[in-house]
Amino acid sequence: MTQPLLAIRGIAKAFGGVQALAGVSFDVGAGERVAVIGPNGAGKTTLFNVLDGQLAPDRGSAVLAGRALIGLSSQAIARLGVGRTFQVTATFASMTVRENVQVALLAQRGQTYALLSPLRARLADEAQSLLKQVGIDSLSERAAATLAYGDLKRLELAVALAGTPRLLLMDEPTAGLAPPERARLMRQVSDLARLAGSAVLFTEHDMDVVFAHADRIVVLNRGRVIAIGAPSAVRANPEVRNVYLGSGRDPEARDA
């Protein structure tokens, strides 16, 4: 591989006596879809919170296209082209669906401090077309607080895409959805990311989703990378089988 988009090296983070991350290193290539999997408490969400600036690691580095991310604030990292969706959806409840996307577009263009001209017309068309891409353009006038969970996840995706990210960090993009909807949403994510040329780093419990949509898989256990590679290689890895089941069962057969 040539220069990776994101190079993660030796990231460690302890909470009290618990070593949540114990020196994690891997790369994400431009446009690549990488899944981070592992049992509960493996350190997946901690890793994401370090990468997007919410948590400072004890050691280690993360470099995005030549820029060091560690030490930057969340908003600075966002401006470098890192989009994020959260495990528990976070949207602006007092705004309509379209306004949610408009605010994201404005932030990306540095128009946050415009004081007097109304928001209403600004970038409305662009927001609408992003909503159309994720398939909820018919809901654009609804209050974000009233959306069904699946649509809320789509809104988050549209908001994350508004920053034309080079890298999308998605913490459990399909959590809380029924299996058929999970597959549909993840297909959308894959298509849109490919279209925008964004790399996707995501965590996921649903192994069907992981094996269908990841180019590569990173397996974490107790804060360490225990396997890394193409889905078929990871599936065959005995240590991964051991971690997941303590037996020889296929991780794909695990109930999410």
Partner 1 sequence: MMLGAYLAYSLIGRFGAGPLGYWGGVLLAALAVGALGVLLERTLLRRLYGAPELLQLIATFGVVLLIKDAALAVWGAEDLLGPRAPGLGGAIAIFGQPVPQYDLLLIVLAPIVLAAMWVALSRTRWGLLVRAATEDREMTAALGVNPSWLFSGVFFVGALLAGLAGALQLPREPANLNMDLTIIADVFVVTVVGGLGSIRGAFVAALIIGIVRALCIGIGDVALFGSVVSFAKLTLVAEFVVMAVVLVARPWGLYGQPPGPSAIAEQRDLQVPPGRRFAIAAALLMAALAAAPLLVDEYALVLGADMLIFALFAVSLHFIMGPGGMASFGHAAYFGLGAYAAALATRSMPMELALIVAPLAAGIGALVFGWFCVRLSGVYLAMLTLAFAQITWATVYQWDALTGGSNGLVGVWPAVWLSSRVAYYWLTLAIAGGAIALLWRVVFAPFGYALRAVRDSPQRAAAIGIDVRAVRWAGFVLAGLAAGLAGSLYAFSKGSISPDSLSIPRSIDALVMVLLGGLQTLFGPVVGAALLAWLQDTLARHTEYWRAMLGAAILVLVLLFPQGIVGALGAAARALRQRGIGKRAAAA
Using the rule CB under 8 A, is 245 a contact of partner 1?
A: no
- Conformational region of residue 40, where left means phi above 0, alpha means psi within -120 to 50, and beta covers everything else: beta
The binding track of 152-191 with respect to partner 1, each residue x by CB under 8 A or -, is -------xx-xx----------------------------
If you count them, how many residues does the chain have?
A: 256
Q: Which of 101, 102, 126, 125 is nearest to 114 (CA)?
A: 102
- What's the CA gap between 67 and 174, in Å, rounded? 30
- What is the SS3 assignment for 142? coil
C-alpha dihedral (143, 144, 147, 153), degrees to nearest 10: 160
CB 119 to partner 1: min, Å: 5
| Residues 209, 70, 50, 160, CA torsion sign | negative
Using the rule CB under 8 A, is 74 a contact of partner 1?
A: yes
Using the rule CB under 8 A, is 63 a contact of partner 1?
A: no
The bridge status of strand 82-85 relative to strand 6-15 is unpaired
Query: Smaller CB distance to partner 1: residue 161 or 225?
Result: 161
Find the binding residues for partner 1 in span 212-241 (CB under 8 A).
none
Query: What type of residue is 238?
Result: P
Q: Which stretch binds partner 1 (CB under 8 A): 39-47, 89-97, 127-135, 245-253?
A: 89-97
Query: Smaller CB distance to partner 1: residue 203 or 237?
Result: 203
Burial class of residue 88 (count of CB atoms within 10 Å of its CB; 0-12, 13-18, 19+): exposed
Query: Smaller CB distance to partner 1: residue 155 or 228?
Result: 155
Using the rule CB under 8 A, is 196 a contact of partner 1?
A: no
- What's the CA gap between 192 and 165, in Å, rounded? 11
Query: Smaller CB distance to partner 1: residue 89 or 237?
Result: 89
CB 8 to partner 1: min, Å: 19
| Cβ within 8 Å of residue 41, ≥6 positions away | 222
Find the binding residues for partner 1 in span 92-151 (CB under 8 A).
92-96, 99, 102-104, 106-108, 111-120, 122, 143, 145
C-alpha dihedral (49, 11, 173, 90), degrees to nearest 10: 0
CB 162 to partner 1: min, Å: 7
Binding test (CB under 8 A) with partner 1, winner from 56, 68, 90, 233:
90
- What is the SS3 assignment for 26? strand
Binding test (CB under 8 A) with partner 1, winner from 43, 53, 173, 251:
53
Query: Smaller CB distance to partner 1: residue 87 or 188?
Result: 87
Which residues here bind partner 1, judged by CB under 8 A? 52-54, 73-75, 78-79, 83-84, 86, 90-96, 99, 102-104, 106-108, 111-120, 122, 143, 145, 159-160, 162-163
